[in-house]
Amino acid sequence: MNWDRTQPQDPRQREQARSRSAQPTQPPVAVPGYEPERFLGQGAYGQVWVAVEHATGRRVAIKFYTRRSGLDWSLLAREVEKLAYLFSDRYIVQLVGVGQEADPPYYIMEYLEQGSLEERIQQHGPLPVEEAVRIAREIATGLLHAHSKGVLHCDLKPANVLLDQDRRPRLCDFGQARLVHEQTPALGTLFYMAPEQADFDAVPDARWDVYALGAILYCMLTGEPPHRTEENVSRLEAASDTRQRLRAYRELIRSQPLPSVHRMVPGVDRHLAEIIQRCLEPDPEKRFPTVQAVLEAFQQRQRRLQRRPLLVLGVLGPLLLLAVVGVFVYRGFSTTLGQSAQALTRRALQSDRFAAWYVAEAVAGQVLQRWEALQEEARHPELVQLLKELALLEVGSPQWNAAQARLQRWLHQARSRHANLDSTSWFVNAASGVQLGRVPLDRNVLGRNFAYRDYFHGQGRDFPPGTTGQGIITHPHLSVVFVSRATGNQMVAFSVPVRDPRRPEGPPVGILAMTVELGRFTEVQRDQGDMKLVTALVDTKPDSRPDGSQGRPGSLLEHPYLAQLQRQKKQAGSRSPLPQIYLPEEVTRRAVRLVQGQLSGTEAERLAVLVDYQDPVPDKRFAGRWLAALEPVVVSAPWGRESTGWVVLVQEKRAEALDPLVQVRAGLVRLGLWGLWSVVLVLCGVWAGAWVLRHQGRASRWWYQVRKHLGMTVTTQGPGSRRGLPTPRGPAGKQSSTAVAQEE
């Protein structure tokens, strides 16, 4: 259905109007003195044609009431009556003539070639804000003239607003209009009609036109009337008759929140949005009581907008002067602060580098301690004898099982002898790569071949499972990060070859290794409870994926965040692996270059410090900007210096490192803010004094009460006195003519 049509009161007529299938080619009746030119449109009660007057050649619009019933005559008489009241009003489309005796009856009105406001919106979309406000104000002025003559439009919508040659609005179609003393209900158009109007028992009210005015302004700004959505239209179409549709419309408008799309239109200020919102209040008591009140609101908004440049200039001028002075003051101490910040940053980075070197030495010592412990045990004659014995026995035989049990006992004793070294497991693999023993015992991995692991062949990466023939390590080795098939956790392994003391230069007979799970290399995590300095351990070698493919370098081996997760896992008894976290790519590239070495002192120093480090862990405690230092972990072993591929990263909160400077800056900022606040207070005082002088004698009700309580002289007469203040009264208690004139 066409939601832009006025809701007729006669269902039979509505069905007749809907059943028309083609536009007419000739008007229903010839109008003497006029030549029909073209069909203009069709409404709920008749047709509108454009015709040319023979005598003058001017174009007019002729509205024919084509519904054959007694209601047609009353509709024509009613509309003509309202137009007669508004004769010569330039805001109203003028009545030219009436054919009340014709069949069908008609009346002639002036024709405006610019078309209707509805056509303007449909063709060009929403209007610019100021143009929409201008049109709305002129519509309100036309309504005010009509209301002052006792005529309520009751069917205001964009289709009933025509535009003249200057694009100024003219009100038309007073078919639903009522005089203020009439009690007959009048139905408007859905989504432009006030909710209380949508009732056959409603009494005409000026606030109906106020609601419609707000809906038109809303439509001009957004392109659609308020509340009209596909869901709401379907809800109204589901009604079986007009009465149910009107009831559904009332409930819809009153139950939904006030429209707010207009607030998002660029150029719609707060005051304009509030005018529209108050016009569209479902409760008529909260709506503007009259069109005059709407016009006054527009005028107040206009005055506010006009005062803005003066206010901006009055405030901006002193502020610009203050800004110029502030620039010189700021430049006076900003250089000093910048130099101080650089000095503090250098000192903090030097401290961080020393801390990183100290931790790297400690980690290197712990790595060497693990290798030495493994080497000590690898030289044990019993281990060598067991490896030889197991190599000659069939896997799973009673003799093999007995030898393997002795190996398990030996591994348990070896691990106990070095209980001070935190580890996840100790294990022994034969020269073929088959795992022969493991503590803690896990029979799922016993007998499996792990020759593809880096800790076995020492080539810096894990190969796909099942790969053999890669050789065996010949000296202590630190593996890449890998996922344990026994526990599913990510870890690294320290491994050493096991040699026959009688053939020390011969090939190893196996390997002895220990694993450390990520988050458990506790030497790195000491004394980090206060979080002033955070220490992390990073592996610059690419880690290995479960499928044997090479992963990414820069994985975090140790971090307070990982240590916390490890403790939580232990408390919860969880076996889920820790997440793998990597350094940012730029930091990883720096760390790799530091590990590779062969750098000049200046370049190494540049790569080793970070002034804007972002910690990659997903914990808000580590968010923000950090100062950081990198230091490679190099083991000074008896067989020579050997790089582990690890890097210690020590990070310090940038804000805490620069805290002394922050305190100085905060003091200066406070001083500046106090100065600025003092200037603002002075400006406010000057503006308040100027406002009092400018509004002397016509202050607001609030200012009147303030002056009265302060004992100041209260002026209630004279130029500019405002409505709402006490005014002199004549002898009979009425307002004097002078006071009334002043209020007007």
pLDDT (tens digit per residue) in 185-243: 888 899 999 999 998 888 899 999 999 999 999 999 999 999 999 999 999 988 888 88
Q: What is the pLDDT of residues 644-670, one digit of tens each?
A: 889 999 999 888 888 777 777 777 778
* Helix, strand, coil shares, percent, the chain, to 5: 45, 15, 40
Pick from 83-92, 545-554, 559-568: least confident: 83-92
- Given a contact cutoff of 8 angstroms between Cβ atoms, the answer to whether 545 and 526 are in contact is no
Per-residue DSSP letter, 300: H
Domain layout of the chain by residue ranges: 11-289, 358-654, 695-743
Q: What is the pLDDT of residues 29-62, one digit of tens each?
A: 889 999 998 888 877 667 889 999 988 888 898 9
Question: How are beta strands 106-110 and 169-171 bridged, if at all?
Answer: unpaired
What are the C-alpha distances in Å from 729 to residues 250, 715, 716, 735?
46, 15, 12, 4
**What is residue 662's predicted lDDT score, i.e. its pLDDT?**
75
Instruction: For residues 145-150, give the mean pLDDT.
Output: 86
Residue scoring higher pLDDT (301 or 550):
301
Q: Nearest 5°: phi and psi at 663?
A: -65, -45
Percent of the chain with pLDDT over 90: 37
530 is catalytic: no
Pick from 148-162, 275-289, 298-312: least confident: 298-312
**What is residue 517's predicted lDDT score, i.e. its pLDDT?**
80
**Contacting residues for 729 by C-beta, under 8 A, at least 6 apart:** 735, 736, 739
**What is residue 720's predicted lDDT score, i.e. its pLDDT?**
40
Reading the block at residue 188, the tokens are: 């408007």
pTM of the shown model: 0.48
For 711, left (φ over 0), alpha (ψ -120 to 50), or beta?
left
706 pLDDT above the threshold of 80? no
Q: Residue 497: is the preceding peptide bond cis (ω within 30°)?
A: no
Q: What is the pLDDT of residues 726-738, one digit of tens each?
A: 433 333 333 333 3
State which H helix or E strand residue 145 sits in: helix 129-148
> DSSP string spanning 455-502?
HHH-SSSPPPTT---S---SS-EEPPPEE-TTT--EEEEEEEEE--TT
Q: Specify the CATH superfamily of domain 11-289.
A: Transferase(Phosphotransferase) domain 1 (1.10.510.10)
Fold (CATH) for 358-654: Beta-Lactamase (3.30.450)
Q: Which of 72, 155, 352, 543 is catalytic?
A: 155
**What is residue 530's predicted lDDT score, i.e. its pLDDT?**
58
Total H helices, total E strands in the chain: 19, 20
